[in-house]
Amino acid sequence: MNLTLHVWRQAGPTAEGKLVKYEAHDVEPEMSFLEMLDVVNERLIESGDEPIVFDHDCREGICGACGVMINGVAHGPEIGTATCQLHMRSFRDGDVVYVEPWRSRGFPVVRDLMVDRSALDRIIASGGYVSVRTGGTPDGNDIPVPKVDADMSMDAAACIGCGACVAACPNGSASLFTAAKISHLGLLPQGQAERDGRALSMVARMDEEQFGHCTFFGECQEACPKEISIDTIVRMNRDFLRASLKRGSHAGDAGAD
């Protein structure tokens, strides 16, 4: 099949960008969206033009590097699918497809479809860890974990940090990402030591990175390729409120002394 692409081209972070029209010919339905871009790039290189820059790594829906907006939808039309997992059979012959980078103040464009998502790494670094004992490997059954908690923790841990939740949110909020990272540790016994500090520090870092505030539009969970529930944001808000009240109470005790 043949497609008409309108791809965002931008030479650098401070350069002015624009949509450029390309024709994608002889596209096979079995191709992934990234493989289709590979073919377009091969033809651009053969003709002496600059290839389209886009981010990718594993191409298996694990690394989260591949995200782009496809016809205004993060990762494209299929639910629970990263861009690298999106196959061209989701489109029809003659379709016009618009391809753009994530649009967020927290994700500055590096070039073309590639954005800088290091803000998410800094959010994790601010509190996404647990205290563990050094020495030999502990027995797997040493600390019992209720199945309900284990299941919810694993669901949150499925987050691949692609940033689709930010790109889809009308406010540009990173709350679903941050909540997933807080939840998957805070639900387990091993994560209790830092639970309050984790919520406070990671939410504060999210605000410092200039992401927007969550107003529960719900677009984030619809765009998430791992279908992480917005319930994790509720859990994060609860942890943050509890930790804030504790901190306020301790500050009042110190003042009384």
Helix residue ranges, H only, the chain: 33-46, 118-125, 147-157, 164-168, 175-186, 195-208, 219-223, 231-256
Residue 175 burial by Cβ neighbours in a 10 Å radius (0-12, 13-18, 19+): buried
User: What is the value of pTM for the model shown?
Assistant: 0.91
- Cβ atoms of 159 and 62 closer than 8 Å: no
Per-residue confidence (pLDDT) for residue 255, from 0 to 100? 42
For 204, the token pair is 């504060």
Residues of the chain with CATH 1.10.1060.10: 117-254
What's the topology of domain 3-111?
Ubiquitin-like (UB roll) (3.10.20)
- Side chain identity at 45, as an amino acid letter? I
Question: 117-254: what fold?
Answer: Fumarate Reductase Iron-sulfur Protein; Chain B, domain 2 (1.10.1060)
Write out the residue limits of the CATH 3.10.20.30 domain(s) in the chain: 3-111
The neighbour count for residue 70, using CB atoms within 10 Å, is 20
Q: How do the pLDDT tens digits run along the chain, 257 residues long? A: 999 999 999 999 999 999 999 999 999 999 999 999 999 999 999 999 999 999 999 999 999 999 999 999 999 999 999 999 999 999 999 999 999 999 999 999 999 999 999 999 999 999 998 887 777 777 767 888 999 999 999 999 999 999 999 999 999 999 999 999 999 999 999 899 999 999 999 999 999 999 999 999 999 999 999 999 999 999 999 999 999 999 886 554 544 44
Residue 250's pLDDT is 59
* Per-residue pLDDT, 254: 42
What is residue 251's predicted lDDT score, i.e. its pLDDT? 53
What is the rounded CA–CA span in Å between residue 49 and residue 198? 48
Burial class (CB in 10 A: 0-12, 13-18, 19+), 107: buried
Task: Give me the pLDDT at residue 131, please.
Answer: 82
